[in-house]
Structure 1
Amino acid sequence: MQFADIQEARDFLEQHPEVRLIELFLIDANGVPRGKLLHREELLAIYENGRPLPSSILALTINGEDVEDTGLVWEVADADCWTYPLPGSLCLQPWRAQPTGQLQVSMHPTQGLPASPADPRHALVRVIDRLKADGLHPVMAVELEFYLLDQQRDANGRPQPARQMNGVRPQAPQVYGVAELEQVQPFLDDLYAACETQGLPVRTAISEYAPGQLELTLEHRFDALQAIDEGVRYKRLVKGVANKHGLQACFMAKPFGDQAGSGMHLHVSLADEQGNNLYASELSDLEGGPGTLLRHSIGGMMSCLLDSLALFCPNANSFRRFQANSYAPLAKSWGVNNRTVSFRVPGGPAKSRHIEHRICGADANPYLAAAAILAGIHEGIKQQLDPGAPISGNGYAQATEFLPTDWLTALCALEQSEWAKAQFGEEFLKVFLAIKHREYREFMGEVGEQDWRWYLTQA
């Protein structure tokens, strides 16, 4: 675990005398940034001595409620656990009305006890280190879909797509529409400018397959941890810039039942120490040739798919995204240049060859999703697992082994998985599963509008 040098803070303070406040945040099990707003004078001390945060900060539901079964609340007296700054994370938040800095921290492996085993970033670091020990350097990129919504609900209390510059609320999908991008240009201009300020490598913007739905891509990084750190910070940035424009950026997996869901596609390849793509020469073998590194990688991800589904789809709403012909995958399937499968090998030149993992909802914690993907790849390579024949044509019509479409099945599979225990550790799983089982009970115990509409008079 590498933490930032104090010179980074000194340089920032010298270059930005206007900054009075610093947002310090850590990413919890749900991918939610949690932390404190600090004064400028407190920054150097964080780099010198760390910053204590309560152990319960990693024991919270998505609604910010303590989960006692994690063992990180009263059992340990909600102890202070020391966090330290991550290199390159100190930057400006240009969407704030008052000049404000931003600093991401992570638990120290020893000084952060008892909470440090529950830090989701640690889980990814451990998996990456195991791959590098075998001479395999994971290269990754994050691709996130989201909706731009009004902050005000409609007359029925439902969320609604934001009005465009022309005052019209979009009704049709208009996928790939350039006019739709032009209509949100003020938001996109500020978003790109904020990304440049924070050093985030955001590139192509696309109008996605629903009214008000957008997708922006981030560049591949040779350092997979850097790629995921940037994905996490990008999500924070999108929400901040949207709020500045009086909008809400929504990363729910399925905010509208009759519209496309939002996914987080993670792109991955393996390189040697010099950065050469180890998948680059393998396309000729993809359709049934001898086992190759790329095929074994896909085979491993397929073999661990059920065990890790609760990390890819961590919420009740996550599973509403799985619908046929919706560009969300439904089965253990792979193919070349095929968007109807779970694991897609895009076309393009050999040097860019990689796997696109298409299962995660946009609500997934990027650290945990990436850790599960890379752990599956490593398993497939070690065990030389073959994924079988690739799907050609409509993967929805040819699917034979479907993913479960309910939250509890996925949670139970993770809980019973010996593979997950070996990859993530029992301490991490105890905390994560305690949080998720608590959320499951609360979600299923809540009676709402749908129950009344279906059963109030007919039952």
Structure 2
Amino acid sequence: MNANATPATAREEVEQFLQLHPDIEVFEMLIPDTNGVLRGKWIPRSAVTRFAEHGMRMPASVFALDIWGNDVLESGIVLETGDRDSVCMPVPGSLTLVPWLRRPTAQMLMTMREPDGAPFFGDPRYVLASVLARFAEMGLTPVVALELEFYLLDREAAADGSPQPPISPSNSRRQWTSQVYGIDELHEFEDFFDAVSRACALQNLPVDTTVAEQAPSQFEINLKHQPDAILAADNAVLLKRVIKGAAQQYQMAATFMAKPYGELAGNGMHIHFSLLDQQGRNVFDDGSHQGSPLLRHAIAGMVTTMRETMCFYAPNTNSFRRFQPGSHAPIAATWGYDNRSTALRIPSGDTNAMRVEHRVAGADANPYLALAAMLGGAWHGIVNRLDPGEPTSGNAHECEHVPMLPTALKHALEIFDRSVWLPQVFGESYHQLYSACRWQELEKFGRQVTPLEYESYLRTV
């Protein structure tokens, strides 16, 4: 899947696809926005070859939308540019069937380009590509794997308006309790997981294991390690779409919201990361169980930049509800060996698989931006030969004298805005764009009066 492939390649791919699938009526042309939300257009079969060759015009401000789809005027790419169009070109290799819709449908990912063909700075795929280019200059290739947690939900809310677990098709009961790694929990939704598996096979999504997680109707599906980080992010975005589509098939909903239940576990997106040299060797492995000096430099960079990049891992107000003492979400910029209470965990096992598990991001994070932030931090540590200090042992939530992560979006954005390092890596324009999007959402949340406030104060004070 090469974002720089020529339009002719995309046209040939579409023409072959049309021959193989004469029943397809409509094509969904999809582009993930700043929030990771898929936006785009429906294209009829008769027009798809033209769009594959010449692209699809969309306003560049599609990357300056808040979560409700409102323009973010402070982003610098709305009124200042006349809200101009840019061209979205197909991502070769992403054309595939959509099995959960009633009408015969296919989908294709797009990436935005300037009129002269240059990548558009606000496209999260390009943000990640620019970080990967820094590794390429050093002859290094990041290998990543993403793990996504989610909840299955009943389509109908509970009496108080809150979400509730769905009724299992196998035994007609709701899961109000759960056994982590429980096989029976998977059996209760066997048809749903079978639909996910079949859709992933059809769309060439490299899924690995599926497990029941900490809370009722909470599950995790893992993607296999991938030496193309952009493709890994593409796969994560499309896996979310598959899971939601399969849930819809079985009269359920699926959510990747970071904290849908206040008292239950949150949804995380753990990222596994190693580095290969030009000979395909894992440069984090030096034969020891501690890992190479390069591993320590990468860890140091990720730890050092974690507070500055926090609003990439936790992009909204709800995201920060995951980070609570006693939970499996980290609350400080820590690292350790086989320690799930730390932000960065070095898993045990064969040394040739030496890697870092980055445990900070929520499942609501944009995968392209979370990967860009993590890898940008690692690059910073490697080029500056930073030292991470001693690893954390025991409960990292009880550590003293370690940098605490921001506990709210406002705090995270203030650190983000003050960063000197971020604009140097991501560019001044993207730094402004992302900040503006997050501040607009935060300010809207700040103006809302919640039901709990009415219950607590309306007739009491």
Both structures adopt the same fold (TM-score exceeding 0.5): yes
CA–CA distance in structure 1, aligned partners of residues 303 and 430 of structure 2:
23
Out of 135, 138, 158, which is 2:142 matched to? 138
Query: Is 1:352 aligned with 2:359?
Result: no
Asked if structure 1 preserves the Cα contact closer than 8 Å seen for 2:86 and 2:115, the reply is no
User: What residue identity is the alignment partner of 2:57?
Assistant: P
CA–CA distance in structure 2, aligned partners of residues 179 and 336 of structure 1:
31
Q: CA deviation at 1:280?
A: 2.1
User: Cα distance 1:110–1:134, how it changes in 2: closer, same or farther (>3 A)?
Assistant: farther
CA–CA distance in structure 2, aligned partners of residues 90 and 111 of structure 1:
25
Q: CA deviation at 1:66?
A: 1.1
- Report the equivalent of 1:96: 101
Structure-to-structure mapping, 1:42-81, within 5 angstroms: 42-81=47-86
CA RMSD of the aligned region, Å? Answer: 1.5
User: What residue identity is the alignment partner of 2:151?
Assistant: Y
Asked if structure 2 preserves the Cα contact closer than 8 Å seen for 1:415 and 1:433, the reply is yes
Question: What is the CA deviation profile of residues 45-70 of structure 1, one whole-angstrom value per residue up to 9, with x for unaligned ones?
Answer: 12211110112211110011111112
More displaced stretch, 400-409 vs 24-33: 400-409
Question: What is the CA deviation profile of residues 402-444 of structure 1, one whole-angstrom value per residue up to 9, with x for unaligned ones?
Answer: 2120111111111111111011111112211111111111011
- Report the equivalent of 2:196: 191
Q: CA deviation at 1:79?
A: 1.5
User: What residue identity is the alignment partner of 1:232?
Assistant: V
Asked if structure 2 preserves the Cα contact closer than 8 Å seen for 1:83 and 1:112, the reply is no
Q: CA deviation at 1:399?
A: 4.7
CA–CA distance in structure 2, aligned partners of residues 221 and 410 of structure 1:
30
Query: Is 1:246 aligned with 2:251?
Result: yes
- Report the equivalent of 1:335: 336
- Report the equivalent of 1:410: 412
User: What residue identity is the alignment partner of 1:370?
Assistant: L
Asked if structure 1 preserves the Cα contact closer than 8 Å seen for 2:178 and 2:185, the reply is no
- Report the equivalent of 2:426: 424
TM-score by length of 1: 0.96
User: What residue identity is the alignment partner of 2:17?
Assistant: F
Q: CA deviation at 1:109?
A: 4.5
CA–CA distance in structure 1, aligned partners of residues 288 and 385 of structure 2:
17
Question: What is the CA deviation profile of residues 185-227 of structure 1, one whole-angstrom value per residue up to 9, with x for unaligned ones?
Answer: 0100000000000000111110000001000100001122211
CA–CA distance in structure 2, aligned partners of residues 438 and 374 of structure 1:
27
Out of 204, 219, 226, which is 1:214 matched to? 219
CA–CA distance in structure 1, aligned partners of residues 37 and 196 of structure 2:
20
Asked if structure 2 preserves the Cα contact closer than 8 Å seen for 1:84 and 1:107, the reply is yes
User: What residue identity is the alignment partner of 1:90?
Assistant: L
- Report the equivalent of 2:316: 315
Asked if structure 2 preserves the Cα contact closer than 8 Å seen for 1:136 and 1:270, the reply is yes
More displaced stretch, 341-350 vs 64-73: 64-73
- Report the equivalent of 2:120: 116
- Report the equivalent of 2:112: 107
User: What residue identity is the alignment partner of 1:450?
Assistant: L
CA–CA distance in structure 2, aligned partners of residues 236 and 30 of structure 1:
14
- Report the equivalent of 1:40: 45
Structure 2 runs not aligned, ≥5 long: none
- Report the equivalent of 1:151: 155
How many pairs were matched up? 454
CA–CA distance in structure 2, aligned partners of residues 448 and 128 of structure 1:
42
Structure-to-structure mapping, 1:285-296, within 5 angstroms: 285-286=290-291, 292-296=293-297
CA–CA distance in structure 2, aligned partners of residues 275 and 346 of structure 1:
20
User: What residue identity is the alignment partner of 1:234?
Assistant: L
Structure-to-structure mapping, 1:387-402, within 5 angstroms: 387-401=388-402, 402=404
Asked if structure 1 preserves the Cα contact closer than 8 Å seen for 2:274 and 2:356, the reply is yes
Asked if structure 1 preserves the Cα contact closer than 8 Å seen for 2:289 and 2:351, the reply is no
CA–CA distance in structure 2, aligned partners of residues 49 and 176 of structure 1:
48
CA–CA distance in structure 2, aligned partners of residues 273 and 19 of structure 1:
42
CA–CA distance in structure 2, aligned partners of residues 111 and 256 of structure 1:
47
CA–CA distance in structure 2, aligned partners of residues 382 and 104 of structure 1:
33
Asked if structure 2 preserves the Cα contact closer than 8 Å seen for 1:25 and 1:104, the reply is yes
- Report the equivalent of 2:372: 371
Query: Is 1:256 aligned with 2:261?
Result: yes
Structure 1 runs not aligned, ≥5 long: none
- Report the equivalent of 1:126: 130
User: Cα distance 1:285–1:190, how it changes in 2: closer, same or farther (>3 A)?
Assistant: closer
- Report the equivalent of 2:274: 269
CA–CA distance in structure 2, aligned partners of residues 208 and 420 of structure 1:
34
TM-score by length of 2: 0.96
Question: What is the CA deviation profile of residues 310-340 of structure 1, one whole-angstrom value per residue up to 9, with x for unaligned ones?
Answer: 1110100011000122111111111111111
Identity %: 41
More displaced stretch, 388-397 vs 414-423: 388-397
Q: CA deviation at 1:72?
A: 2.4
SS in 1 for 2:234: helix
CA–CA distance in structure 2, aligned partners of residues 30 and 173 of structure 1:
30
